[in-house]
Structure formats: structure tokens, C-alpha cells
Structure 1
Amino acid sequence: MTGRLASLLDDGLERGSGAIVEDPGGRLDAGGILARAGAVAAELARHGIGPDEPVLVSVGNRAADFAALLGTWRAGAVAVPVHATTPGRVLESLREATGVRLVLDGATGEAARVADAPPPGRALLDGAALVIFTSGSTGAPKGVVIGHDRLAGKLDVLRSVLGIAHGPHTLLPLQVTFIFGIWVSLVTVLAGGRLTMMPKFTPAAARAALGSGVTTAAFVPTMLRALFSEAAPPPAAPDLTRILTGGEPLGEGLGTRIAEAFPAAGLYDLYGLTETGSCDFCVTPDLRAAAPGTIGMPTPGVAFRIAEPADAGAGGAGELLIRTPYGMLGYLDRPDLTAASFADGWFRTGDLARRRPDGTVELAGRAKDIVSRGGNKIAPLEIDRLFCSHPDVVAALAAGVPDPLLGERLHVMVVPRAGAAVDARSLADWAAERIERFKIPDVFHFSAALPLGRTGKADRGALRDWVAQGAKNG
């Protein structure tokens, strides 16, 4: 059964909406998208794809990738987007987690069979469009199941909140393996717009694109910091009317610089989680001056409350809880984790927050240890476990350390095996074969023992403090 997103896209494209999806190597108009999506659906049908069956879809921010997602939905399957450069071991772990028998190459539209038996039937995937894997506090990636109807409803909200009418020209350096990149793509095409996809972000390429008629651009703050570095003047963007950002804190200073450089472009600072359907709060352009340092107000359909502070040291902040009709269907094959993530129907974000008198919400920190590096979320426990599996490592502890460019950089302290010769380069090369590149630590520290907290256990906070003290002392 074809999902709602496929029906919406098919209807819009068949009406001659003028939608175009392009990358540096190719371009597809509405007819081309439909034709390639039809070929992908036929390819999956040839392999005997079943209703609501998950399929790994290899993507790399190419025009053809958009058609591959549409074709997967046309075939009644569930897309599990993975980046084309994903290491083999990570890819294998995703195959095992999903039980897929087909891997679809988004660039060619060809499917490769990796297993003979179909995956088990899962009631959770009934009506699902996507399974997006995201890191969590357990250290293991979690498969967030996103439903067609819920995501379609959220797209309607976003078009209204962001004021996206017909025919935007959107620059997308965000990867379509993540919810932010996916919804920006869908909103643009549904509005009959031109979607310019960047396979890899570089400041030079983004500057050139911004000067070529782009009206909407979506960046994580790390990208904006690179664009607005002190070493170069602000980029020229004469047609820009809308900047979308999220995934990590923007910072008041950077927000001010952007507003000064692009006075005619509205800056939308978005907060949300994959689990809640993304974009639960928004600092709109007219709210920015009145509510600096906040995540703004909830978007339509989103309700929130702040739990009672767990301790006096939280400064009056409590956990931010969200209720929304656009959230996930659940975590794939983890009903226990799904249940634990909710409190009386409210999703537990793990973020500490306060409500200001004007109704806006400010974050006070993260209750979890998730590292936000350049907009990418990294579970430090996953990094601990990885390096502890190295034959020459006795112990490892990872933590995020504040950084002016990336928001946080990932540091790891390693305790080598006695007599072993290990260094940062060899460990990074070893890790590159086992995890995604954005999870490779920026800095390695070597010690005879891990820093301990008051309870005698390895303490991430102590590691962060040790790094900060070292930087202070030079």
C-alpha cells in the first residue's frame, strides 16, 4: 500500500509544479523524478518487496536520492536512509538491526539482495515511512520509526510556520540521512521549488550557491560559523529571504552577525528531536530580539511542560517534556525503550529547561551526555565501548568539550595496555573502519588511569574539567 507521502509527492509532481532537484552532477525535473521513482518501485517489486518492509537506501545528497526515497514509498516499503560512505561494519550492524534483505543504491536505483529471508513482520512499521537511526544515552544507535501521516502533518505545519509558499529555491548541505535534511527536501519539492543539494559542505561551495538565486538555505550552526568566520566577509546572497538552522545551539553572537549581514532574510532557529518529529520550538525572526538565548515558542500542535527540578543544583530547571501528534511511532524492536521514553504520554527529551515569564523556553543543559559536534549527535558511551574493544586499550572515556566552531569537540582519554605502543593517528585510522567519520574523536589523550569522580567511577565531567584546566594553563 502506497504511503501518504508518496501520494502527496506524486500529486504535486504530476500537476507540473515546476519542482527541480539538482546536485553538482545532475538535475531532475518533475517528470524525471517521477520516472526514476517509478523505476525504483519496479526494481523493488521485482525483488518481491513486501508491505511495510524496511529497505536500506544508500544516499549521498544526490538528485537521484530523492527519487529513490519516493520510489521506495511508492513500492509500499519503509526507507532506512544510510550514507553512501558508511563503513562496512556499521552498515552490517544496521542490516542486522533492521533484518533487511535489500540494499538500494540511491544513485543507480538498483537493489542488491543481502539476505534471502524477509525481515520479521512488525506491527510498528504499519504505515511507516522512515527508520532513522540516531544515537542515544545507551551508546547504541536507536531506530526511530517515522509514520507517513505524522510526517505529512508536520510538513503542513512547517510550511505555515516558515512562510514557504510556491517555488522556493532551497540550498541543502544537510544530509538526507537525518530528519532535518529530509523535511527540508520534502517541503521544497511539495512547494514546487528548486532543491539544490550539496553532497559535501564547504564554505566556498556554499558561498557560490548562495549567490545564484537561492531564497532559502538550511544550515546547522557549525556551517554558519564557517561561513561567517572572521577571515572572510559575509557571503553575498542577494535573493535570500529565509535561513533555517537547528541541531545545536546557535548562540546570540552568531545570530546577530547573520541578521546584520542579511537584513532581508528571516532567521528561523529550530529546536526538536527526531523522536518528536523535529521542529518542536522555533525562534522566529520577529521573536529573536525579544527572546535572545531561548528556543522560542512551541510550533502548532506541540504541547510542553517542564518537570519539577530533580535537585536544587539544577537552578530551577527541570526536564523538558513534549507531547505532539507528529512524533515517532516508536523505537524499532525496542518497546521497552519506547515505553521508558514517555511519562504519561509526554516524551522525555533529556534536556533541562526553564520557562521564562514571556512564555519562551530556555535550555539549561543536557540531562544526558550526548555530544553535539557540528550538529551531529554522538553518544560518548558508544565511543568508550569502541576503543575499549581495541586490543591495546585497557580503558577509554569520551566527552564533549565546548568549542567555538563546532559547538563541542569530541575528546577521548585512553589508557593503553602496558607495553603497548599506540598513538592518536593509529587509533583514528582503526576507528575509521568501524564508525562514521563524524564520530572519530578530535583529540586523544593518553593516561595511566581515567579521571574519577566522587563515587570512584570514571567521570566524564572530570574529564571535561581536566581538559578545560589544561587549556587554561596552556
Structure 2
Amino acid sequence: MTAALAERLMAWLRNSRADLRETAGPGAAPADIAAFAESVRDRLRSAGVQPHEPVQLTIANRATDIGVMLGIWLAGAVAVPIHHAASPTTREAIGRATGARFQLDGLTITRLADHAPRPRDLLASAALIVFTSGTTGVPKGVVLGHDALAGKIEALDRLLSFRQDDVVVMPLQLIFIFGIWVSLLAIRSGATLVLVQKFSPETVEDLLAHEATILAAVPSMLRVMAARALPRAARLRMVLTGGESLGPALKETLDDAWPDAGVFDLYGSTETGSCDFCLPPWRETGAGTIGYPTENVAFRIVRDDGTVAAIGETGELQIRTPYGMLGYLDNPAMTSAAFDGDHYRSGDLARLRPDGCTELVGRLKEIVSRGGNKISPMEIETVLCRHQDVAAALCAGVPDARYGEAIHAVVVPKPGTCLTPDALKRWAGTQMERFKVPDVVVFSETLPVGPTGKASRAGVRQLTASLSG
């Protein structure tokens, strides 16, 4: 029996007249994607795919990648997206975790194993296994269900109201839950979806200048564009961003450059189905926060002792949602540890403000212990970004013989400024306690990013070691 999400996506494609375009490829009409999906289904069935069997698919942000994903669902299997440039180590780790016997790249099926993996009850209603590295670097298979993902798409449609005349520019990869839901929502709405194979400011700027009405991008992409001066975007009406902190300075830059485009600052995780909070453009307060919970999402902020924090008090943000994961693949212990009752433990430190907005303070696992002082990297970044010559900043703790951990910062200065790392450190010493001032500051043209394009604290450690050494 075909799952709900597959049935809906097939219907959306058949009802849409808007092409799925590519910046470096031919794209396809929606009817052609539907036919392509049926060909994928038939080939998988001929190959002997079993119900709920995980099938890997190579993602290169092609229109046909969506057709492959749909074809896997039509065959009754579970899609496991892997980026085409993933390292052999990543591919091997995902292959071991899933036991997948089939890898699809377009219509080409590669047999990876002779026997189907053992059946898993967890996959009985699953649509996707999305692998995230998290803070440990070890890939975790997040299992997302058809009904939950379909329900989330409908909730996001009510929040964002994509239109048939929209042109949605999507430089996010389809291995990333943000990229997946934006693409599905665009198809559902009959909008034109433009898949960007490889992000570059020039490619996105050209689309913004001529036709884009909606841009979906992580803040790191927007910072790279802002460093060059944001282009004119006559038709742009909406910017969707999330996956990392946007920050008040970048938000102000976007508002100044694109006054007619509403910025939706979104917060969520793969485990919760994404977009648990939103700071929409029509809210007059809340700058620098993640805003308010989205439809059907509840939350609480919990102290170390397990009690609910008071307004203004810091604790762990915990989220309850009907759109969350079914669990981590083959890891019930990790799944259990990720929840406190029916609330997902985000690992983010937050506080509820008197105006009802929720403000992130940092990450439980990212707190730096420098000389016995507990410091949030996000707090330092916020201060550094207040400097008039700083475009962006990212901090991380680095092992240190004297302090236990030292604070290292990568800073992107604004073009044409004469700021130096020492001058920035002296200024920071006037803005915060001295033990919070970064021990090492290096300047870079961009912040280090990970595979999904989000800013990477692990990259801070690598970059500061190479540039300060």
C-alpha cells in the first residue's frame, strides 16, 4: 500500500503546471517527474525490493532526485538520501547502518549487497532516513514517517502560503530536511522550484535580480552574499532561513537590502521534523530570538533538576510535536535518551522572555569550560557581531593546557575595514567579562561550514589551528 506522502506528492505533480528547474541541468516538467518516479518504482520491484527496505539515493539537487525519492516510496521502500560528493567514509558508515542493497543514481541501480537487510519494525511507516552527524561526528539515522512529514508540509503551507506564481530558489541540498520540505512545499503549491546544484553568490544573485520571489538559505549563505553587498531583488517577497542563528545584524542587513521581502527565521531539527519555532516578519518584537512555536508544537524550558524554568531563567529547550521522528535507526537507547517523556531534548539552552519570545543562549554540549568558567560561544558571537566592522563571527572551545579549554573565534570583517584581531579583542574586553574574550581571533573571508552549508564549530578549531599556527 502506498504511503500518504507518496500519494500526495504524485497528486501534487499531476496537478502542477510549473517546471522543476535546475541551475546546471535540464530540469523537468512535473508530469515527467511523475512518470520518472513510476519507472523507478518498476525497476525496484523488478530488482526484488522488499517492503520498507532502505534504498540509498544519490543527491545532486536534480529534478530527477525528487522523482527517485518518490519512486522509492511508490515501491514501498524507504529513501536514504546521500550527497553525490559524500566521502567514502560517510558512504561506508551509512551503508553499514542501513544494510541497503540498492543504490539509485537516476534510473541506474547499483547492487550493494546480495541480501536484503533484516526487517525493522521502526521502518514500517517510514519515508526517510536522514543521516546527521550531530555533535559527535558519528552519523545518526533519523527515521521520519510519511504521515508526520505530510502533516508538517500542510502546517507549513498554512504558515507560509506559497503561491502558484512563486519562483522558489533553493540552494539547500536535498539531504537536508530544510531543503526537502521547501521543495515538497513548492511542488504542493504549484510554484516553480529552482534547484541550485552548487551554491555560489553569483548564481543566486542572478536569480534574485530577475525572477525569484522566495529564497530559502541558511544564514551562512546569506552572510557570504551580504559580504559582497546584497543585490537588488525586485520580485522577492519572502526569505526563509534557519539551521543556525540568523543574528540581529544579518537580519537588519536583509531588511535594509530587501524591504519588501519578509524574513521568516525558522528553528527546528531533523528529529522534530523541522520548523518548531518561527519569528515571522509581521512580529514587531523578538529580534535575536527564535520567536514562537509553530502549529501544534509545544515546548518547555527545563532546569538541571528537571523542573520547569521561570520566565527569564535559562534551561534546556524541550519540544513536543506530532511531526517528530519515529526514532534513531537501530538505536532504541539513543532514541530513549533523546526524550524526556514526550518532549524531545533539543540540547539547546534557552530562556523565555516576558514578551513570549524564546531566546537561545547556547548548546549544552558546546558550553566552553575555561578556567572553571562556563561560557556559551553564542553569547560571545553576539557581542562580536555588535562591532561595526564585523560581518559574522563563530566561536568554539579548543583544548588548552593552561585553562582546560580556550576560546577561539573566526571573524569575517566587513569589506574595506581596517580592523585587526588585536583591536577586536581590546574592544571585546570593554563589552564583556575578560574571561569571555576570545584567546585566539583569526580573520577569514567566510565562516567555516559543514556538508549542509551550516556554520561549523568543528571547522573553527581546524581553521584557527591552521591560521594561527
Pairing 1:242-281 to 2, within 5 Å after superposition:
242-281=238-277
1:84 aligns with 2:81: no
Corresponding residue number in structure 2 for 1:141 = 139
Pairing 1:348-427 to 2, within 5 Å after superposition:
348-369=345-366, 408=394
Paired letter, 1:468: P
Give 1:344's match in structure 2, choosing from 323, 341, 344: 341
Corresponding residue number in structure 2 for 1:445 = none
Give 2:400's match in structure 1, choosing from 442, 446, 451: 451
Shift in alpha-carbon separation, 1:331–1:472, aligned structure 2, 3 A: closer
Contact 1:222 1:405 in 2 (8 A): no
Q: Distance in 2 between matches of 1:276 and 1:235?
A: 34
Corresponding residue number in structure 2 for 1:292 = 287
Shift in alpha-carbon separation, 1:99–1:472, aligned structure 2, 3 A: closer
Give the Å deviation of 1:410. 7.4
Give the Å deviation of 1:5. 1.3
Q: Distance in 1 between matches of 2:276 and 2:345?
A: 13
Corresponding residue number in structure 2 for 1:234 = 230
Paired letter, 1:204: E
Q: Distance in 1 between matches of 2:118 and 2:69?
A: 22
Give the Å deviation of 1:472. 8.7
Give 1:182's match in structure 2, choosing from 180, 186, 191: 180
Q: Distance in 2 between matches of 1:42 and 1:166?
A: 31
Q: Distance in 2 between matches of 1:280 and 1:344?
A: 18
Q: Distance in 2 between matches of 1:90 and 1:273?
A: 21
TM-score scaled by structure 1?
0.79
Paired letter, 1:154: K
3-state SS of 1:211 partner: helix
Q: Distance in 2 between matches of 1:343 and 1:461?
A: 32
Shift in alpha-carbon separation, 1:119–1:453, aligned structure 2, 3 A: farther
Shift in alpha-carbon separation, 1:102–1:148, aligned structure 2, 3 A: same
Shift in alpha-carbon separation, 1:322–1:36, aligned structure 2, 3 A: same
Deviations, residues 2-25 of structure 1 (Å, cap 9, x unaligned) = 22111001112223x213211121
Deviations, residues 390-448 of structure 1 (Å, cap 9, x unaligned) = xxxxxxxxx9995966753779x7xxxxxxxxxxxxxxxxxxxxxxxxxxxxxxxxxxx
Give the Å deviation of 1:66. 1.2
3-state SS of 2:365 partner: coil
Corresponding residue number in structure 2 for 1:25 = 25
Contact 1:130 1:146 in 2 (8 A): yes
Corresponding residue number in structure 2 for 1:417 = none
Give the Å deviation of 1:452. 4.2
Deviations, residues 362-400 of structure 1 (Å, cap 9, x unaligned) = 0111112399xxxxxxxxxxxxxxxxxxxxxxxxxxx99
3-state SS of 2:119 partner: coil
Q: Distance in 2 between matches of 1:406 and 1:145?
A: 34
Q: Distance in 2 between matches of 1:466 and 1:170?
A: 41
Give the Å deviation of 1:222. 0.8
Q: Distance in 2 between matches of 1:352 and 1:225?
A: 24
Corresponding residue number in structure 1 for 2:42 = 42
Contact 2:408 2:439 in 1 (8 A): no
Corresponding residue number in structure 2 for 1:59 = 59
Q: Distance in 1 between matches of 2:184 and 2:279?
A: 22
Q: Distance in 2 between matches of 1:330 and 1:370?
A: 26
3-state SS of 1:286 partner: coil
State, as a whole percentage, how many aligned pairs show the same letter: 44
Q: Distance in 2 between matches of 1:66 and 1:342?
A: 31
Q: Distance in 1 between matches of 2:395 and 2:442?
A: 16
* Unaligned runs of at least 5 residues, structure 2: 369-376, 385-389, 410-434, 444-467
Q: Distance in 2 between matches of 1:147 and 1:234?
A: 38
Contact 2:407 2:438 in 1 (8 A): no
RMSD value, Cα? 2.6
Q: Distance in 2 between matches of 1:117 and 1:264?
A: 55
Contact 2:93 2:139 in 1 (8 A): no
Deviations, residues 47-106 of structure 1 (Å, cap 9, x unaligned) = 11111110111111111111111111111111110000111222111100110000111x
Corresponding residue number in structure 1 for 2:414 = none
Paired letter, 1:247: G
Contact 1:22 1:195 in 2 (8 A): yes
Corresponding residue number in structure 2 for 1:307 = 302
Paired letter, 1:22: R
Contact 2:162 2:191 in 1 (8 A): no
Q: Distance in 2 between matches of 1:406 and 1:87?
A: 29
Corresponding residue number in structure 1 for 2:206 = 208
3-state SS of 1:27 partner: coil
Shift in alpha-carbon separation, 1:117–1:467, aligned structure 2, 3 A: farther
Paired letter, 2:101: R
Deviations, residues 24-45 of structure 1 (Å, cap 9, x unaligned) = 2112111111111111111211
* Unaligned runs of at least 5 residues, structure 1: 372-398, 414-449
Corresponding residue number in structure 1 for 2:111 = 113
Q: Distance in 1 between matches of 2:131 and 2:176?
A: 8
Paired letter, 1:364: V
Alignment size in residue pairs: 398
Q: Distance in 2 between matches of 1:221 and 1:340?
A: 30
Shift in alpha-carbon separation, 1:104–1:406, aligned structure 2, 3 A: farther
Q: Distance in 2 between matches of 1:405 and 1:115?
A: 49
Corresponding residue number in structure 2 for 1:168 = 166
1:194 aligns with 2:192: yes
3-state SS of 1:151 partner: helix
Q: Distance in 2 between matches of 1:467 and 1:104?
A: 49
Contact 1:132 1:177 in 2 (8 A): yes
Shift in alpha-carbon separation, 1:235–1:462, aligned structure 2, 3 A: closer
Corresponding residue number in structure 1 for 2:6 = 6
